[in-house]
Each structure stands twice: as C-alpha cells, then as structure tokens.
Chain A
Amino acid sequence: MFSGEPLAVVGGGDSAAEEAVYLTKYSPEIHLLVRGTSMRASKALQDRVLGNKKITVHFNTQVLDILGDDPDVPFTKSPVTGVKLAPVTKGGEGEGERELAVRGVFYAIGHDPNTNLFEGFVDIDQKGYVKVGPGTPSTSLEGVFAAGDVQDPHWRQAVTAAGSGCMAALAAERYLSVRGLVREVHQPKDDLARTKGTEAETAAPAAAPVAAAAAGASSSSSSINSHSNSGGVHSMAAAAESDQTNTYHKGETALAELLASSSKPILVMFMSKTCGPCRILKPILGRVLKVRIEDGVCMRVFFHSPSTLSFSLPPSLALNVQARARAAGLLDLYFTVVGLFTLLILPHSPSLSPSLPPSPPPLRNSKGKCTTWRSTSRSIPT
C-alpha cells in the first residue's frame, strides 16, 4: 500500500529516526516532521537520517491535520493524500501553514507503558513504569512480578524484554514452590507407554531408515538446489506424492499450480520477512492445522532451505519428537509470559515482537500412518 509512495514520519527521537531510515526501503521520499529545532535522536542516528538523500527533515514543524476525503479509494490504495503542517513558533493565525503531499503518516512520538490496569495494586513510578527491586522482577506486591517494557524505562529492547520475562517466570516459579503451591503435572500413563513403545520400535528398524535417509538426502538436496528460488519445493512435493494430502508450499508458482489442479481448499498466508505479527501468526496456524491432523487428516510438511540437507525421520521417531516437544511445554509458558509483557506496550518497531519458534510439524497420512518427514536439521526440536 505504501511502497513507492511519499511518506511522512512524525517525531524527532530515536524511534522516529529509525522508522524514517527503515521506510526508505519501501519509499523513495520520506519526510521527517520534527517539532523542535533539533532532533532528540542520538547523533549516530541523526547522521544516518541527515545523510540519507531519500529523507527530508522538516524542523519546527507540527502536524495540524491529515488530509484525504475520497470515500471511493480502492482498498489497496492509501486514503491519505497529504498532511497539513504549520510552524511551531507561530506568528499570526494560519501563518506559514502548508500542505505536503504524502500517502502515509507514521507516528514515532514515544510511548507510555500500558500499566493503568495495575494502578493501585503495585507501585508505579511517575512515568508510568512498574517499580521493581533493583535487578529483580519483584514488584511492591508480593508474588507479582513485572517483565519487559512495563518495568524498563532504559533499554526497551526485544532481547532485554525476553530476558526479564525469563527472570519473572523463574521468580514466579520459585515463589510458588517455596510456598508449596506448585502442583507438578506428569505425563499421562498412556502417553508414557506409547513413547516407550515407539522407542522400542525405533531401535529395531533403525538401520533401514538411516540408509533411506542418506539416499533421500542426496536426491532431495539436488532437487532443492535446482529449484531454489522458484517455489520448487512444490514440484518436489507433487512428484513425491500425487494423492491429495496436506501440503506446505511457498511462492506464486506453487499457488498457481494448486489453483489449477487442487480440489482441496488452499490456505494462503501473505507474509513478509520483516513483519513481526507474521511470526506470531505462523505458529498459531501451525497449531490449527495440527488439530486437523489429530482428527486423522494428513499433513505433509516440506521445509525449504537450500543451504541445509534434507533427511527423513522414521515415523516412530517423529512421534517421539512430538512427545518431547510436549514435555517442553514450559518453554511455551515462557514465551507466553514474554509475549504478554511485550504486548503491554505499543510496539513501534517490528523488532519488539518476540520471534516465536515454529511448532514442530507432525505428520500422518490419510491411512493413519506417518509418512516421511523431510525437514531441515534446524527445525528439529532438541
């Protein structure tokens, strides 16, 4: 929607400067609107902004209005047509007012921690941050721990938020176990038995799959290389299995072929590598599709990565991996905690969203038996 269009960024701080530089990836004309006569951003960032030919900096400028009234603007076009600007130091009424033609306006004017709902329960400082003990996640209320940007006025990085999320999770766990409030949840007996059974199965036919894996690796890696940039994974999938199972594809070619040939519904996920919410959505979709798999519907997953080897896992081992992933549920809790606290503030940059690990892809074909799982070594949970 904004690609190639002139855009405006409001603000003079670090986040505004970062935002402006980031947007030059998509637009050749960025206007940075700064209220003061200088920028508050760090000198290094200022240099990057001032030295960037695509960015025009307007000092002593405030935004009066955002223009754009056309109700019939197509959905894929921005309804914004411009901004109305005025100098901050005013002479007479309406003096120096001007309009600037832009198709998008981005605010980077700082944020307030979203802590209102805790007011009266835990101590909050003047700027709105939850007060914590130095170096700890403990708040003024026993048993309540704060993590992430709600308690961090200084660093406000995704990685520091994640770290403090881990501290808070551990502190909460310790708090509960010291008071004997922890209830341990053990794996159900059936599950245990199944895991044991599959382990035994794995031991016996282990030799055969290894050989198959070696053969699979050489043939599939060559086919990956030959299609590396054209959504060629799909052709591999099609060649490997002609019956209609659930499949994972990438790219327009794959979509076009499916549209032409498939009778099954197609879920198309439009994403971007730099989009934080996409990283949140992917595991959600993964979980949703897994529900269908547990209903007995099959899913074949083909990961696409030209640089790594593909190999096959024996089905029983794949199940085992799933079981282990369930045992690692604590990790999920940790990410939920981090996610929660990070969402409590208004993210200005995509890097604020924690990158969630993709759920391990399960597999089972329509006959109820597991099929080959091709994957990159990176996606196997350990």
Chain B
Amino acid sequence: MHYVEIDIEEYPDLTLQSSVAGTPTVQIVNLRNRAEGEEVVTLRGVKKGSEYKAQILESLDG
C-alpha cells in the first residue's frame, strides 16, 4: 500500500482532474488489473476508520 498526500493548493490541476471538490478526500487507486484501467474508490470527508480499512482490505485482497 502506498500513501500519497496531495495538497490541493499546490496541485489544483490534478485536484480538478481527480474530481475532488473538497478536502479531505481519500482515493484508493487499484492497479491490479492495469490493462483494464485503474479502479478508483473515492471516500469524501472524514469517515470511520473501519470504512477505510474495509476499502483498503478489498483493494489488497479483491
């Protein structure tokens, strides 16, 4: 698992491209099937730790 932090003020273009409309937004990018394109899960706002954990586990195992 890689963790990348993007400051939306430093990278406004990337933020727009990623359809991020507010902070904090967490996106989990799954690169397992690269040929079929990236699978992106978006979690907006602050959620419970368990929700992030579930998504992370899914991206690692699924």
How far is it, in angstroms, between the C-alpha of A249 and the C-alpha of B60 when the chains are bound?
19
**CB <8 Å contact, A270 and B25:** yes
Q: How far is the CA of A268 from the CA of B59 in the complex (A)?
A: 13
Which A residues touch B53, using CB under 8 A?
Answer: 288, 291
Q: Classify the interface of chain B: helix, strand, loop or mixed.
A: mixed
CB-CB < 8 A to B48: which residues of A?
Answer: 284
**How many angstroms between the C-alpha atoms of A266 and B19 in the bound complex?**
17
1/0 per residue, CB under 8 A from A, across B14-41: the answer is 1110111111111111111010001000
Does the CB pair B4–A278 fall under 8 Å? no
Query: Which residues from 246 to 270 on chain A have a C-beta closer than 8 Å to any C-beta of chain B?
Result: 246-252, 254-255, 258-259, 262-270
- Indicate if the CB atoms of B23 and A275 lie closer than 8 Å: yes
Contact check, B1 vs A258: say whether CB atoms are below 8 A apart. Answer: no
In the complex the two chains form, is B24's CB within 8 Å of A254's CB? no
Q: Which 4 residue pairs spanning A and B have beta carbons closest together? A: A265-B59, A270-B25, A278-B24, A275-B23
Q: Which residue of A lies closest to B44 (CB)?
A: A270
Contact indicator A270/B46 (Cβ below 8 Å): no
| Among candidates A3, A265, A271, A284, residue contacting B29 with C-beta atoms closer than 8 Å | A265
B binding-site residues for A, Cβ under 8 Å: 1-12, 14-16, 18-32, 34, 38, 45-46, 48-49, 52-53, 56, 59-60
B4 touches A249 (CB 8 A): yes
- Please list the residues of chain A having a beta carbon within 8 angstroms of any beta carbon in chain B: 1, 3, 75-76, 246-252, 254-255, 258-259, 262-273, 275, 277-278, 280-281, 284-285, 287-289, 291-292, 297, 299
Could you say which of A258, A275, A288 has the most chain B C-beta atoms within 10 Å of its C-beta?
A288
How distant is B25 from chain A, measured CB to nearest CB, in Å?
A: 4
Q: Knowing A1-B22, A268-B26, A288-B49 are in contact, say whether A246-B3 is a contact too (CB < 8 A).
A: yes
Q: How far is the CA of A292 from the CA of B4 in the complex (A)?
A: 17
Given A281-B46, A285-B52, A288-B52, A270:B8 Cβ within 8 A: yes
Q: Which residues of B contact A268 (CB under 8 A)?
A: 4, 6, 18, 26-29
Whether the Cβ atoms of B56 and A251 lie closer than 8 Å is no
Enumerate chain B residues within 8 angstroms of A280, measured Cβ to Cβ. 46
Chain B residues contacting A299 (CB-CB under 8 Å) are 1
Q: State whether A265 and B6 are in contact (beta carbons under 8 Å apart), knowing that A259-B31, A280-B46, A281-B46 are contacts in the complex.
A: no
B25 cross-chain contacts in A, Cβ below 8 A: 269-270
